[in-house]
Amino acid sequence: MCQSTVDWCEANYTVTKYVAEFWNSCTGLAIVASAIYWRYSSFTSNVFSGAFGHCFKHIFWYLLLVGVGTMLFHGTLLYKYQLLDELPMLLIAIEYVKLTCTLSTSIELFSFKFLFRVVTLIRVGNYLVCIIPFTYILGPYAHILSFHVTLKLFEGTLLFMLWNLSRSLNAIIYKNIYKKYDTMDSIMNRVSLTTCGELPFIERSRNSQRLKLVQKELHEYIEYKKALRMYTKKGICLYAFSISLWVIENLFCDWVRPLQLHAWWHILSSMGIYNLNKLLEQHVRISELCYCKKQN
């Protein structure tokens, strides 16, 4: 059988003769738990059944695959299970970028040229997922390079889009909420032309109704934005800390081996993924709040 292209810092077969990297393998359960807890915490919302439900469902199943693949990969150090760990990671990253670029807020913020490039990148990424397994023929470094470059390309694209959205979200939302109710005003004006005797009453009712609806949607947006900010801060902290542990272990393996930093990376990164999923939920809710058809 083909051996994996990488052997992590944890000493092999020291805890039990049946599992190569015991702690790295066990902490793959954290990824599975993260996916299940995220699905459970979102049970009462409609994100899994709404317009973006297919994206969230794909992310959920890919996360489960990553967790199972991680346990099998670290438990056996076989290449086929390494692929079961890595390829779903790429598919998740592609799904994140796909979801983000199809948000109504993204469509308004980014140029057509930029979004076209992102869509092209997504198509190329799907082809690379099929090609990367065969880079093993060229040697372990070819596989490692192709996987990490592809993953970082999608991670960078996602971070760039989310960062720009966070900077421009207030302006986009406020403009579109007021625009939505200005459209309602034009409809009400046409109605008022046929009921001139009731014009003062209609005007007062219209202004009162518009104010209440605008205030309601702005209040909802502010609550979503608070949650968005919270998940962003938590996600950044967890991601930065977990990446630091991953880098430290790779650079100073002989000195930090007893600390099992890669196992901690699994736990912290799974928590970071949970926060990223919740963050994207808030973006979907904000986009739907702003652009969905107003109920009269």
Whether the pTM exceeds 0.85: the reply is: yes
Average pLDDT over all residues of the chain: 87
Domains within the chain, CATH numbers bracketed: 22-187+218-290 (1.20.1070)
**Residue of 151, 292, 285, 177 lying closest to 225 (CA atoms):** 285
Q: Is 166 exposed, middle or buried (0-12, 13-18, 19+ CB in 10 A)?
A: middle
pLDDT in tens, 46-63: 788 888 999 999 999 999
- Whole-angstrom distance, CA of residue 35 vs CA of residue 82: 20
H or E stretch including 273? helix 261-291
Helix locations, 102-259, DSSP H: 104-109, 112-131, 140-193, 199-251, 253-256
Question: What average pLDDT score do residues 250-274 get?
Answer: 95
pLDDT in tens, 116-148: 999 999 999 999 999 999 999 999 999 999 999
What pLDDT, on the 0 to 100 scale, is given for residue 292? 65
3-state SS class at 294: coil
Distance of CA 98 to the CA centre of its chain: 10
Q: What is the dihedral of CA 284, 286, 288, 289, to 10 degrees?
A: 160
> With contact defined as beta carbons under 8 Å apart, do 50 and 97 qualify?
no
Q: Is 65 exposed, middle or buried (0-12, 13-18, 19+ CB in 10 A)?
A: buried
